[in-house]
Structure 1
Amino acid sequence: MLKNHNTTVIQNMAKRSFRTNRRRNISILLAVLFSTFLTFCIFTGGATFFEMQQTQGIRLHGAEYDAYLYGLTREQQELCRENPDILRSGIEAVAGYVVETEQNDTPDAGLLWTDETCWEEMRKPGRTWMEGHYPQKADEVLVKRESLKSCGLEGLKTGDTFTMTYGTALGEFTGEFRISGMWDGYGAKDVVFVSKAFYEQSGHELSSVASGRYMIDFKPKLMTRAKQEAFIESLHLEKQQNLFFNMEYENAVQVLAGAAGLAGIACLCACLLIYNIMYLSVSGNIRYYGLLQTVGMTGKQIRRLVGRQLSILAAAGAAGGLAIGAGVSFWLIPSVVKSMGVYLGKQESVRVAFHPWIVLLSVLLAALTVFAAGQKPARAAAAISPVEALGYRPCQAGKRSRRTGRGGVLWRLAKEQLTKDKKKAGIVILSLSAGLSLFLCLVTLLESEAARTIVSNYMDMDMVLENKTLKKENREDRRQVMDGEFLDELRGIEGLEEIYEVRCREILVPWEPDFSDMWMEEFYDMWMVQSSYEDEGRKNYKDHPEEYSSFIVGINETEFSCLNSTLEEPADEQAFLEGQTCILYRNGLAFTDGELRGRSVTCADFEDPGHRRTFQVGGLTDVNDYTGESPGCAPTLIVSDGALREFAEEAFVYKVSLRYSREYDRETEGELRELVENSGCAKNISCESKLEEMETVKKAQGNMMEVGLGMVLILALIGILNYVNTLVGNIRSRETEISVMESIGMSRRQVRRMLVMEGLLFAGGSLCVTWTVGLAATYTLYQSMNYRKVPFAVPAAPMAAASALVLAVCAAVPLMAYRSMEKKGTVVERLRGAE
């Protein structure tokens, strides 16, 4: 056929097609618009989510840093300053602790000094308010209202003075201090900031792991595990030193890989949506394109015509999608978040992340998808002859011959639709299951990030009460603040389901060559930098074991089961409960479980050294919930509560752990706090509340969870709308077939039942793929991003609701499409119109 130069005609035909094929073009336009909108929202929401997660990390830590070094030498500081990958670094050092004030003898507050970089740059993002200035003189302090309250100094303000007794490396002192400033923000609750002048006279050194802290903020936002290990090796850490990366930074690479997998699935869903609509729309007009060849249009010109139509629709759809996406991201989402009453802090607004690459990526993805979607049908339209075009039917794939099968006729007809065009059915099931799988994965990840999941203390108790007087160095100041009367009143609170008492007694561990000598030698090597065990430590320990006292701690069977589950090798339960064995707190020493297990350790009562008892070591633990007052030089022994009662009739109630009948029960917590306040020892009892911690984490998260939920809801619509568009197009292309079945006796009710069965088969197939392949993919992605080690669990309620919604939509959409087809006229009119 001779080529005609009719470029102008092609352009006019492309424009005219928008009027003559309005319904088809609106479908394509909406498909591109909605897919562009989805990809834009996905990338914008994802970027916002990650930036907010970074903000959450800053708020939880109280400062912006990626790594935290315990102990700092001058050589290491120089190495960090010269390292081109380090953006900034700041010093934070423990200067001592508050012993008592005139209003509170157990304040439980620490003294901390930070350099200018740490305070002005790294801690600045964690501050929400400040007045005054950072301390400059040795008698100046900077405080929060919480730290004033813990010291019993409520009501003081900037410029006021107070007297406190404090402890440093040189001993205990009493002095008067002036409040140079006050601040509020995240992190560092019970901390009093002091000046550099105070730190220099405290006797502490930055090289000591008990004092020196070094915050490091890296330039690269991602660092592989290999590079992290190489950086640690470059510092040449001493035995006592340790460097920890923030969990977010340490696992950033694997989290990003998991996020890329999620984004890939989301993009696949959007691409399938565009592809299905494009393919159905273009292939449905194959006959029209074939007939154009009879008037002289070549195959190349037909491809240009199809390409011109699709490019105009793609441009309009992409522009509309970006506009709607921007409106939703920057206006609707913040409005919804605010209307939900989400805490954002003073003068804080919802910050939606936006980057130019999001626009470019969304447009590029839409363009590539439209191009890929139009290639195959355009080639088919150009290759078909006019004669073949007259007999073309888009849904004639499959076997021509049929055999009568088992089951009802309607079920057989419904199943044939899945096998007639396997590629199309596969795409529909794939797109729907991909959307459901993505929904499953995101809901699971969001559930693991929820404040209720993050806040989970040891044994998952709702409230832990602790005797603060046991931290007093002067033994005469230690008191039984939670006595029998107090415990009886606790048991009388109806909202409490479980109460666990942990008791402790001060002990000595006499010197012996088989165990204690080995323990103390390692302890000196690890922690006693200034002195040597060989030179003076061994002799002093033999002669004066009372200077190296420790604690024996008694726990019940439930607590032992929980502790035993954390051991490298579980201890023998019967031997422990019978008082034959004990668990040792490792206290950071380099002992392995095999080195000490089975050895005998003897302890003596501190007040009566002649009263002794010997236990066998059943295991080592790093869990610091049962360390008595604080880990001493000698080992802390954890034994059964029965063994402790046999060893010592009187023991301090060190800790009481409480579980409510209903988790996060505010009413029960209120009763508990009232009981503590009325006990007369409120200042000597610390209350660690899981409900309070959850509120802190929730406050730090801001609206992160709401943005994540918005992403989930948007992505859940992808697969459903893909199914809706595909199935509607499929039924429209089968109008002749359905009309023929009606003409030979199939009733409308039977047609509706058949179409519902088809929809349920599609839904069943997608659910099967989701709960097999999708669940496996979800588990893989979840574990790649699960740096918090939260156990994998499928949120039952959201997935049950999503599955029910899919079944309902898949059953309802075919009925709606058939009802639309019925409005075109009678069976005869539809058959006549088809030809």
Structure 2
Amino acid sequence: MKLENNNKEVVKRLTNRSLKTNKIRNTFAVLAIVLTTFMISSVFTIGISFVKNYKTMNLRVQGTTASVSLEGPSEKQIEKIRSLDIISNLGSEITVGQVELETLRKNRCAILIRYADKEDFEKQISPAISDIIGTYPEQIDEIMISRRALEFLGKSNAEIGDEIKLSYIINGAVQEKEFKLSGIYTDYGIVQDIGNILISHKFIEANKLSVEKNGKLFMTLKPSARYTAQDILEKEVKLEGNQKFSYSYDRNETLVKTALATAALVVMIALFIVLSGYLLIYNVLYIAVVNDINFYGLLKTIGTSPRQIKKIVRNQALKLSIVGIPVGLILAATVSFIIVPLAMSTFFSGTSATAMPREISFNPLIFIGATIFSILTILLSCNKPAKIAGNISPTEALRYTGAKAKKEKKNRNSTKGGKLYKMAWYNVFREKKRAVLVFLSLFMGVITFLSVNTFLSSMNVENYIERYVKNDFTLQNILDENRDLQDNLDEDLVNSVRSIEGVTRINLVKSSKLQIEMNEKVFLPSLLNQYKNLEGSTDGAYKFLEYIKKNPKELFTSVVGVDDDLIERVNGELKEKIDVEAFKNGELILLNAWYYGENYEDINEELTIENSDGKGNKSFKTKLVNDTSGRLPHGLGSPLGISTIYMSNSALERLDSEAKNLNVYVDCEEKYEPKVNSELKNIADNRGLWLESKTGDTEEFNKSQKVMNILGGGVSIILILIGILNFINVMITGVNIRLKEFAVMESIGMTKKQIKRLLSFEGMYYAGITSMLICTLGVAIVYLVAEMTKKIVDYAQFIFPITPLIILITIIFLVCLIVPRVVFKIASKKSVTERIRKIEN
């Protein structure tokens, strides 16, 4: 009967002393644990921070948590809506008027005066704004003002309690009053030229304003009511006159495909990191056990049980993790403070960049999860080495080579088996698990590197410029407070731009909003597609049709006029050509095929458009166009599901003689680009126009790309180093556990030169097979990453990473050929007799 020693103190002492005598091993093991923990916790921290900040950004741009509104609600309607089980928050707002100031008109901006009740402000508006100081106004002479509005007023340094004199329009009359500042906040509305002032309920009462006559009711739906709310509201709430519910669902809901693609890509990279970390820790502990195998064999001779030996190995790993895991977590937290804000400001620009928070999500669950994940990885990694140490007998420990005994194949003779390249092939695969470990270590590191490289290279500046920036310069008219085009881009300005030295081409785009007659064959497919995508059902499309049948004069759309040269350029890049002459002659109009979904079918119907003065109309042939050129601009906005219409400038002028210029596209000779840019910038500043330049966009993109390359390149280098370090560890192990074998081979006449050649052949097989895996399975994975990138970024193009691939394969061959020879040279400095005697002792 076998009795097990139950001396916990001895096991603990053996564990500690073994750690003290293996300082180099400990260093490598701690480094492996630090890298693994760092990579895991970094991915979780940065990923969760990104998702959280991204949702906040979308909410801020949206301006409220509310997703449904109703204009002019009665008290009876409000109470009925409040009683429904689909509403989580309910609040009302009143647009009171706007500030009347000459400087605001001159700078093409506006300040709106609004009222929000307590529930609306606290539960629906507050989550979409930030940096709130002070309180919501309660007295008739108190106001709460956005920082953007303070900037427009020239009072950016104002403080709580300051008095601000305002001239404003309310109920059609201009009034003047001095207000006390009770609160300040930052808002992030997508319209950058509008600021906001919030006033008190007492002010509303004093000016005899009410929600029913002057305001709107805003509702935040419960998540469970996302797809049923419309039917319930319109069934339960009786509407009056022209009342209708307006639906504007969370912007995050419309980004599901992008979010899924991003999540899939992050999960794939995270799995690569976890597996690479597992292999790294496994290799380090495996080497430690193999090097100390005689020690574990001797322990068994003095009565140490297999269970106790396994415990020694596992305890060593866990003690090392006590050092490595905290260091990895601290390093990840420190790096996140730099990476997260940098990434947030890099990936977004304009309004999105301003609204995007730079907050780092240091939820304790992230670090607890990363710690547990790291410990599980460590325990899993040391499981096999612990089994080897615990199950080996003293006799086997002396003869251990790391390979299982195999039956000799029949017909194996010295003539065929003595070839070095055949011996090397046999050595590579005589321990299949070790061979798979080597291939996997290299493969994972290289593929992770190539995946990150592909993700970044797919989003290069050339692709971005080709997709989005079609002209050297674009001058764009801006909207006034009523969302109509201002008259700042007139013909005189266009002629002055045309006269600038170096300008080679000008294209003019006009825009208007015109009433159209409902043609169900034209618009029903687009209505059904858009309502289904946004609301999850097509009921809204049919309700909209019914409404238009009763109110035909309320059907309008954005109409964009295009000059003859521009339509020829567009047609030259379209896959499906159009009848350009019919378009120029005002017989053909184009509808944006995007509204009709991916599998759209062309519509050979006529569409009637009313003149802007209401006197007469004109019928046009229609054609759906998928603008692959990217040259046709978006219009001024239309009802959901109603496409923007494109026609010739001459045709639009006949329908609306006061149609205003929307865009002027300018191309110039390259040598005159700086001069043209300077003159256009002066024109834009003086006229209040928006100017875009290809050079400016390229510079901004290159700044972002540089940051992305630093971040992605840093991660890639760490991962490729992990892969190469894994291989080096495995090769060191392979050579060390075969030292006896090499010594015996030398004793029967094999030279060191031949052994080095044998090891070179083995390294070449490792490199060759790994390269084949990379060039087949690896390329498929890289292609999959490229396809996911296209779903995340629409301008991305797959660029095969041929240069990085060649460099990495070259490095793999060099490492695989050199490392085994160097290890053997260092390990075989003593004579054959000394080496054999040392192994047998």
- 2:443 partner letter: S
Are 2:44 and 1:30 aligned? no
Contact 1:302 1:378 in 2 (8 A): no
| 1:581 alignment partner in structure 2 | 588
Pairing partner for 2:438 from 420, 428, 437: 428
Q: CA deviation at 1:183?
A: 4.8
Q: Determine the C-alpha separation between the residues in 1 that align with 2:726 and 2:484.
A: 73
Q: CA deviation at 1:550?
A: 7.1
Q: Determine the C-alpha separation between the residues in 2 that align with 1:478 and 1:800.
A: 50
| 1:308 alignment partner in structure 2 | 311
Pairing partner for 1:483 from 493, 502, 513: 493
Contact 2:511 2:560 in 1 (8 A): yes
Are 2:616 and 1:618 aligned? no
Contact 2:470 2:631 in 1 (8 A): no
- 2:589 partner letter: C
Instruction: Tell me the SS of whatever aligns to 1:597.
Output: coil
**1:12-51 aligned within 5 A:** 12=10, 15-16=13-14, 26-27=24-25, 30-31=28-29, 34-35=32-33, 37-51=35-49
Q: CA deviation at 1:618?
A: 0.8
Instruction: Tell me the SS of whatever aligns to 1:193.
Output: strand
CA separation of 1:490 and 1:728: change in aligned 2, threshold 3 A: farther
Identity percentage of aligned residues: 21
Q: Determine the C-alpha separation between the residues in 2 that align with 1:670 and 1:135.
A: 51
**1:527-542 aligned within 5 A:** none
Contact 1:90 1:117 in 2 (8 A): yes
Q: Determine the C-alpha separation between the residues in 2 that align with 1:175 and 1:641.
A: 43
Pairing partner for 1:270 from 264, 277, 297: 277
Q: Determine the C-alpha separation between the residues in 2 that align with 1:476 and 1:378.
A: 77
- 2:309 partner letter: V
Structure-2-length-normalised TM-score: 0.70
Instruction: Tell me the SS of whatever aligns to 1:436.
Output: helix
| 1:321 alignment partner in structure 2 | 324
Contact 2:109 2:194 in 1 (8 A): no
Contact 1:58 1:126 in 2 (8 A): yes
Q: CA deviation at 1:412?
A: 4.7
Q: CA deviation at 1:321?
A: 0.9
Instruction: Tell me the SS of whatever aligns to 2:305.
Output: helix
Instruction: Tell me the SS of whatever aligns to 1:195.
Output: strand
Pairing partner for 2:730 from 721, 726, 731: 726
Are 2:607 and 1:601 aligned? yes
Instruction: Tell me the SS of whatever aligns to 1:503.
Output: strand
Q: Determine the C-alpha separation between the residues in 1 that align with 2:250 and 2:436.
A: 45
- 1:723 partner letter: F
Q: Determine the C-alpha separation between the residues in 1 that align with 2:374 and 2:60.
A: 42
Q: Determine the C-alpha separation between the residues in 2 that align with 1:341 and 1:244.
A: 24
Q: Cα deviations across residues 91-117 of structure 1 (Å, max 9, x unaligned)?
A: 677777789845636825473745555
Pairing partner for 1:677 from 676, 679, 682: 682
Q: Determine the C-alpha separation between the residues in 1 that align with 2:66 and 2:470.
A: 27
Contact 1:504 1:628 in 2 (8 A): yes
| 1:282 alignment partner in structure 2 | 289
Q: CA deviation at 1:616?
A: 0.3
CA separation of 1:788 and 1:644: change in aligned 2, threshold 3 A: same
Q: Determine the C-alpha separation between the residues in 2 that align with 1:101 and 1:192.
A: 15
How many residue pairs get aligned? The number is 789
Q: Determine the C-alpha separation between the residues in 1 that align with 2:218 and 2:624.
A: 31
Structure-1-length-normalised TM-score: 0.71
Q: Determine the C-alpha separation between the residues in 2 that align with 1:784 and 1:286.
A: 47
Instruction: Tell me the SS of whatever aligns to 2:105.
Output: coil
Q: Cα deviations across residues 267-319 of structure 1 (Å, max 9, x unaligned)?
A: 222222233333444355556555665x463xxx4312322321321222111
| 2:814 alignment partner in structure 1 | 811
Contact 1:162 1:178 in 2 (8 A): yes
| 1:639 alignment partner in structure 2 | 647
Q: Determine the C-alpha separation between the residues in 1 that align with 2:492 and 2:712.
A: 44
Contact 2:508 2:665 in 1 (8 A): yes
CA separation of 1:302 and 1:648: change in aligned 2, threshold 3 A: same
Q: Determine the C-alpha separation between the residues in 2 that align with 1:374 and 1:54.
A: 36
**1:122-201 aligned within 5 A:** 154=154, 158=158, 159-161=163-165, 163=167, 174-176=174-176, 180=181, 183-184=185-186, 186-188=188-190, 189-195=192-198
Instruction: Tell me the SS of whatever aligns to 2:621.
Output: strand
Q: Determine the C-alpha separation between the residues in 2 that align with 1:749 and 1:339.
A: 53
| 2:536 alignment partner in structure 1 | none
Are 2:105 and 1:104 aligned? yes
Q: Determine the C-alpha separation between the residues in 2 that align with 1:436 and 1:105.
A: 58
Q: CA deviation at 1:5?
A: 5.2
Q: Determine the C-alpha separation between the residues in 2 that align with 1:720 and 1:476.
A: 62
Instruction: Tell me the SS of whatever aligns to 2:604.
Output: coil
CA separation of 1:365 and 1:469: change in aligned 2, threshold 3 A: closer
| 1:654 alignment partner in structure 2 | 662
Contact 1:289 1:302 in 2 (8 A): no
- 2:247 partner letter: N
Contact 1:70 1:213 in 2 (8 A): yes
CA separation of 1:744 and 1:630: change in aligned 2, threshold 3 A: same
- 1:311 partner letter: R
Contact 2:458 2:789 in 1 (8 A): no
In angstroms, what is the RMSD of aligned CA positions? 6.3
| 2:534 alignment partner in structure 1 | none
| 1:394 alignment partner in structure 2 | 402
Contact 2:571 2:580 in 1 (8 A): no
Contact 1:49 1:704 in 2 (8 A): no
Q: Determine the C-alpha separation between the residues in 2 that align with 1:743 and 1:629.
A: 88
Instruction: Tell me the SS of whatever aligns to 2:623.
Output: strand
Contact 2:297 2:397 in 1 (8 A): yes
Q: Determine the C-alpha separation between the residues in 2 that align with 1:202 and 1:756.
A: 92
